[in-house]
Chain A
């Protein structure tokens, strides 16, 4: 499947801003099943300087500064991606979850060492016993890792309510677990926290999700959303994605931007500015297939 993605972020300031510095992670990654056909990142007004570098996790970071007076800042990321069809491994054929845990703990191979940064707590994902406790029923002794994680994914999907008003980005995972409400970021952080509390490496994936309009209505521009899910390290297979918000293993409708230990590592736009008074932010994301393909409805995926 080929997709076009347009992701526009606009900041409007009530007073003039003389100077701002920003860091943007909006360049989609190419890897195994995903290929970046083209991509451009446009900033208006034109930045005084702009640099790119690659972070520890392999994501492309764009840094730019505006050194002229401005009342509005627009960052537009536009790209075309191709996601190849792929088949997840047979979940019951993956190694027992304890093996995965012990492999990473021993960190004897280059592969497991590579997964090591994702097994420890990070600012948005603390270890805490309640998370391990919550996860425990999905992880009986000897259960194949991927099957256990899928079970946990299903449980989170079934037991938690999708509620954009329940949380903010600063809501601790503990509260999400208590109130059983949140959005994709919360569910991803929660599941990562569960897995890491058991000693399993898990990473946060940020990206987009193709959504379908309600039957009989045209697709509106800008209604798609940034999305987040997670990936688990499966020994001798690699990273396998899971989407607790939609109870599935991401397939061709999930487009990957980048990954890190948690949201903080892949935050799409960070910035500081002087002056500016109050500011308002608007985000519009549009994802659509580049060529006509069979729309696969999948129980109304949510972002």
Chain B
């Protein structure tokens, strides 16, 4: 190659100088001649304009936005494991308008075909009768559900939302690796990716005329609404999620919020009569349409998997009676069988009288003798996977097996050939991914989405691209991948703005109650309130202790400090204080450090914040974006990434102040931007109970068995109770026990006092909806009255007295009398709303004869 040719073959240069895709695959950006493809020309200029510095900046911005929005993806099989942050490359995957039109038409044809196949195998079964489908593909396939045959009226559509996992082969053709039809995921991540990238590259996004995504979601929503059999003007649509243990729970919540639907789990729904209802605080609300993200088998324990924890008993009967519509239709998991891929071309010719435009990866079903011989002859080029259940096992690349393993696999196949398919090994295309230093060719997977419309299918002009590094190629696995990319379809002319709001053609009925809150959510909000307040109290307490570590308290103040530190551990019994041996300043410091950083410390800050984040993530769709962003920052490992052991006191104090500020911000967002519905009431009840109980315990743990000097202790108590300022205004510098107790306990104008919390609690409980629903007995207002009566009965002066050898026993008894009913109240609230969503159990099977 001459020097001039080299120069000509250079793409726009700059960033692409070192970009070298492998020679035997298709590269999305560079053609075989090393030039930038036409469709990428404008964007390549943008990239080179940014340069490494600009890309680095954009990459960081993407990371920050994703972290702020808390976009996560759970690692599968590790329900307790940490959520993995979602990774997004700043460089999108591009399609010209013409390229996309061709692909979109092919996707539409495929979606049409798949819907027709479902209507046939669960209906007249002409494909079976005509011999296009062998009986074993249907009856021998556990993904084909006998109970789904005739479930919905003949001719009803099955597919409302379809996702195809695509790969581009070396010849440039896209092929489908898998069709996802039970609860296709990724459409939510696609929106999230778009929002982030559009903010990161705002000018280019405008000038390149990127097609907007919103119209697709409007079409999806219109489709779901049009399916409602009742309440057609304003049907209730819910998004049925597998719950927080699902890897895509983040997306479930995100999509529900984006579409404006209530996020529910199987236990939130109940079937009464022929109808499905949402269990809410205000009673049972009818549900018209369910957009499900759970697999077929988890829908109904009566007719499908009996021990499924996600299911709703009676759901299929409600579908059968036509009172509710489930999207996608029950039984659509049949389409996910890999064996079906081998039959699509023939089915397409019969059902649509057309050739299949979007091919699948070449697939041989070993249940057909001719296919089995092919597999035997081309064994080493192929990938083997289970024929019927898509997720049953990962694909096996034969060439990677040892001779023994190959023989074993072949034997298994020969024993049950119908259970296996073999597929051509996919060599995916590559696209540039920004690694932080350079552009690297990573492998590309493309997920496309289709939603049914009255005349056909609407294709999302974009999608979700999963990318993986050359060292971990995606291969034939359709769901893996380390990172993701936004997908841009470039229109020829400026595109019009569409938004998901203001689109409804019908006028909405004005609604003000929030009683349609699922009961389960109330329980979580209640705990969120408790945990927020617990964290705040802990931090104040810790801060008061730590400040005293810095002062020259030693040795005079050591005893008071010990009392404070012991009270921090939250031990309810006074045993801690009875341990008379004096501790050194050093052991006190250790104890404080553990309270702050040790995740295993049950009453520690780290554990409390972790629980707080988990609880918040479950009710994420109920929190404002800002609220969620704040919660997301409440993570010690990011707030304080440095060594905990060697942390300097000053830095730790700064950390405590920072967390306190975040917690106040979260409370502020809650206080100011939540409507005063039941959700807010539960959140606030949690706060109030926790604040009152904490104060009562603190006073009990520090005052009942007096040690050391009283004055410094009172100072600390006022500090922890955030009431020092008020006290000083009222009593100046004179510190005495009775006025301190009055301010912290009885003064109902002090928003930190116990009396204040109790009066708010009373109000909340009175205002909770008391419509009788099946299981409800309202939380007992009597418990609050009991606590309140005790509080105001006492003569504070007499309680401050110290009895010889006994300490302030009377004070201890009194404090306990106030907080015991409050704890009981918390229990009734929790039990009450948990029983509501109690699990359904199976009847015993028939006696055996």
Taking Cβ atoms with an 8 Å cutoff, the residues of A that contact B are 9, 11, 18-23, 48-49, 51, 53, 55-57, 63, 65, 67, 107-108, 110, 113, 116-117, 119-121, 127, 129, 164, 167-169, 183-185, 225-227, 261, 265, 267-276, 279, 281, 283, 303
Contacts and interface: CB of A to CB of B under 8 A. Distances in A.
B763 to A, nearest CB: 30
Contacts of B270: 19
Given A23-B302, A113-B129, A274-B840, A107 B135 contact: yes
18 contacts: A9-B846, A49-B273, A53-B320, A63-B302, A110-B129, A113-B135, A169-B845, A185-B848, A226-B846, A226-B849, A269-B843, A269-B846, A273-B841, A273-B843, A274-B838, A274-B840, A281-B847, A283-B847
A127 B274 CA distance: 38
A168 B835 CA distance: 32
Nearest 4 Cβ contacts at the A-B interface: A225-B849, A120-B140, A116-B135, A271-B843
Contacts of A53: 320
A108 B844 contact: no
B274 A49 contact: yes
B146 A55 contact: yes
Given A56-B147, A270-B306, A107 B134 contact: yes
B317 interface: yes
Nearest to B847: A283
B455 interface: no
Nearest to B314: A21
Contacts of B835: 275
A270 B775 CA distance: 24
A119 B844 contact: no
A22 B272 CA distance: 12
B731 interface: no
Given A21-B317, A55-B147, A129-B415, 15 more contacts: A22-B843, A23-B303, A49-B274, A63-B314, A113-B135, A120-B140, A121-B140, A164-B849, A184-B849, A261-B146, A270-B306, A274-B839, A274-B841, A281-B844, A283-B847
Contacts of B131: 107-108
A281 B139 contact: no
B804 interface: no
A272 B272 contact: no
Contacts of B613: none
B776 to A, nearest CB: 11
Nearest to B136: A120
B843 A272 contact: yes
B840 A273 contact: yes
A70 B314 CA distance: 19
Interface in B129-164: 129, 131, 134-136, 139-140, 146-147, 149-150
B841 A56 contact: no
B459 interface: no
Interface string B291-319: 00000000001110010000001100100
B416 interface: yes
Given A119-B135, A183-B849, A51 B321 contact: yes
Contacts of A63: 302, 314, 317
A48 B273 contact: yes
Contacts of A119: 135, 139-140
B351 interface: no
Contacts of A272: 301-302, 313, 840-843
B6 interface: no
Interface in B549-566: none
Nearest to B271: A21
Contact of B848 (A67, A108, A168): A168
A57 B150 CA distance: 12
A107 B134 CA distance: 8
Contact of B849 (A21, A227, A261, A267): A227
A272 B314 CA distance: 9
Interface in B818-844: 835, 838-844
B393 interface: no
A18 B775 contact: yes
Q: Chain B's interface: helix, strand, loop or mixed, by majority?
A: loop
A40 B296 CA distance: 33
B128 A113 contact: yes
B387 to A, nearest CB: 13
A183 B775 contact: no
B777 to A, nearest CB: 12
Contacts of A269: 843, 846
Contacts of B303: 23
A51 B135 CA distance: 31
Nearest to A261: B146
Contact of B149 (A23, A56, A108): A56
Interface in B236-275: 270-274
Contacts of B150: 56
A293 B463 CA distance: 74
Contact of B844 (A67, A265, A279): A279
B774 interface: yes
Contacts of B314: 21, 63, 65
Nearest to B270: A19
Contacts of B775: 18
Contacts of B306: 270
B578 to A, nearest CB: 42
Nearest to B302: A23
A117 B846 contact: no
A164 B847 CA distance: 10
Contacts of A265: 146
A275 B838 contact: yes
Nearest to A268: B846
B362 to A, nearest CB: 26
A276 B848 contact: no
Contact of A267 (B320, B774, B845): B845
B843 A270 contact: yes
Contacts of A225: 849
Contacts of A267: 845-846
A192 to B, nearest CB: 15
Contacts of B149: 56
Between A21, A267, A268, the greatest number of chain B beta carbons within 10 A of the residue's beta carbon is seen for A21
Contacts of B272: 48, 65, 67
A196 B427 CA distance: 40
B365 to A, nearest CB: 15
Given A18-B774, A48-B272, A108-B131, A276 B849 contact: no
Interface string B115-129: 000000000000011
Given A272-B302, A274-B838, A127 B416 contact: yes
A181 to B, nearest CB: 13
A121 to B, nearest CB: 7
A226 B843 CA distance: 18
A163 to B, nearest CB: 11
Contacts of B301: 272
Contacts of B129: 110, 113
A63 B319 CA distance: 13
B135 A56 contact: no
Nearest to B846: A268
Contacts of A226: 846, 849
A269 B845 CA distance: 7
Contacts of A116: 128, 135, 139
A117 B843 contact: no
A18 to B, nearest CB: 6
A106 B306 CA distance: 34
Contacts of B139: 116-117, 119-120
A281 B129 CA distance: 44
A256 B320 CA distance: 27
Nearest to B134: A107
A55 B270 CA distance: 23
Contacts of A270: 302, 306, 842-843
Contacts of A110: 129
A184 B379 CA distance: 45
A113 B127 CA distance: 12
A77 to B, nearest CB: 12
A283 B846 contact: yes
